[in-house]
Amino acid sequence: MVDLRRSDIKTPSAAAVVAAPVAVALGIGLLTAAPAQEATAASPAAAQARPATPPNIVLVLADDLGWADTSAGRSSLGARSRFNDTPAIDRLAREGTSFDNAYAAPNCAPTRAALLTGAYAPRPQNNIYAVSDLNRGRKRALLVGPKQGINDDEVLPASAVTVAETAKRAGYATGYAGKFHVTKTPGQVTTAHGFDENWGGSRAGNATDYHARNGRFNGRISPSLDRFAGAYTQDYVDERLKPHANGTTVAAIDALVGTPKHVTDAVADATIDFIARKKSQPFFAVMAEYAVHSPVDDAQARQDLLAKYRGKRAGSKRFEAPTQDRAAQAKRARPSYAALTEGLDQSVARLTHYLETSPDPRRPGHDLADNTIVVFTSDNGGRTDLGASNGPLKGQKSEMSEGGVRVPWIVWSGNRRLVRPGRINHSPINGTDLHPTVAALAGVRIPRSVTTDGTSLVSALRTGKRLTLPRFAHFPGYVRGPSRDQRPQSFIRQGRWKLVYSYENQSWKLYDLRRDIGERRNLAPRRPKVVQRLGKRLVRWLDRTNAPLATVRKGKRPIRLEVRGLTYANGKVKRYGRVRKITVRPGVELPIVLQRRPAGKR
């Protein structure tokens, strides 16, 4: 077993700098996957015989972390921050498998729903597309998004079969710490969604204050996490913070003693405590941090980390954002955002340190890391207006552009037979893949009655296999504001291509992400065959999932279309062999229209 703690911490001088060990954490991403696997998500070979000692699985889920916010860049095509320090996440990427085409939904709730269920948003066990509702922004928009969740509340139905329930069927202990978001009450996390324990998870989408007050976290965090809300003690900072510090003075860390606990540390405390109590059986644990979701300001950062970044100069030698000018780089290098990001990284370091220094009761002579898989990801792209960097990607959180839906995704294990080390896999993947992957690792079949849309990643993790399935996304509403302008769209990603349909103006845009990751050049007019091929797949997917579309707002004029080709609306695909004029009246779904390619066009 490997001890990550360093013995060269110099305590005599207040100016002494604590050298940080590199730590380990892992990631997973989200969007939507290819053909539904209604029979089983685990491959037959994987599910035939349950492993004698099935691996432990930990999901580390960051909140709003940008694609290029880590300092490694292995899961982001080399785009990275040279202001934020993330040595633990970097180590995961270096020693594990990174996916640089990993997707999430545009914002928090739909990603979490897809991770839990393994199902696309249009499926009845999901039905979550956005936070709050699908009509955020101006009230005079052309279209109206449908209701989502349960009674237009972004919560999962109790009937949904989650990844935790599947893990429990395989004999796993299941624990959740941190932000949950897609539940009506904190109690439903354990009574309806398969977790044995819940520490902090509630229906809230963020914490309004990152620090505990009088031994309690704010009301948007379930009181169950208050068990870990006690103020910092000297033993705590000596044993849990100093060994994982990186360029922070001893004096600054010691100054935390007696101050309120940061929720990032508390979520790590709860996760490690759960693992320590349940390690005699296989465990599935979720460490869902609140960082780096808003609020992002100096009051929310841990003060030792804030002091570090206030003294760190932003510039081309320390911070990299390939498509941004120097002024934008400096704006993104906000000390408070960087401090929250490194606090997240330290929670990863603490987790992996515990795994590597704790004997495995199920496998004498081995540590826990030797039979544990850690997945690290973010729930959506970063908010560039709050300090995040999505590198060369267009857009940010809440948008269907790559900057809103592409996320870091890293998978690590202390056992190279479980996860191929030092690899980068270019396969497009997303959060629906988590459920079937956990099922395959646990050696249990997902019931045939349960529809999952993802695919197991086990072969990609163990052999580096490239996955070629198309991935889909559907957003039938609006998120509009000062810095974001997302309108109804659907897209398909397959191979190098991303084809996007915008409902308001019935337009198609095609991007070659291999050559144009910033989505600047629309190739649809030049590549009509690709538009037809992928467009038909997208229409069939909308039909197969019975996806709801936005309707024309009441009070607006009817929309008249000339159609020759395919349409989908109201749960039906229609084919028009000759030009037909159709009228879409207020209150009726505005269809997706794939016009037939004119003869002679290549």
Backbone φ, ψ for residue 343 (5° rounding): -60, -40
Half-sphere exposure of 75 (CA within 13 A, CB side): 38
253, with CB counted inside 10 A (0-12, 13-18, 19+), is buried
Structure tokens at 436: 């079937």
Is the separation of the CB atoms in 80 and 382 below 8 Å?
no
Checking phi first, is residue 587 left (phi over 0); if not, alpha (psi -120 to 50) or beta?
left
Beta bridge partner(s), residue 149: 153
Rounded to whole angstroms, the Cα distance separating 87 from 334 reads: 19
Pairing of strands 507-512, 497-502: antiparallel
User: Given 108, 211, 262, 435, which residue is catalytic?
Assistant: 108
Is the separation of the CB atoms in 384 and 403 below 8 Å?
yes
Mark whether 244 is an active-site residue: no
Rounded to whole angstroms, the Cα distance separating 262 from 229 reads: 8
Checking phi first, is residue 440 left (phi over 0); if not, alpha (psi -120 to 50) or beta?
alpha
Mark whether 426 is an active-site residue: no
SS (H, E, C) 195-260: CCEEECCCCCCCCCCCECECCECCCCCCHHHHHHCCCCCHHHHHHHHHHHCCCEEHHHHHCCCCCC
Rounded to whole angstroms, the Cα distance separating 319 from 297 reads: 20
Is the separation of the CB atoms in 571 and 541 below 8 Å?
no
**C-alpha to C-alpha distances, 29 to 118, 207, 396, 410, nearest whole angstrom:** 12, 22, 15, 9
Of 550, 446, 486, 414, nearest in space to 92 by CA: 414
Residues noted as catalytic: 108, 181
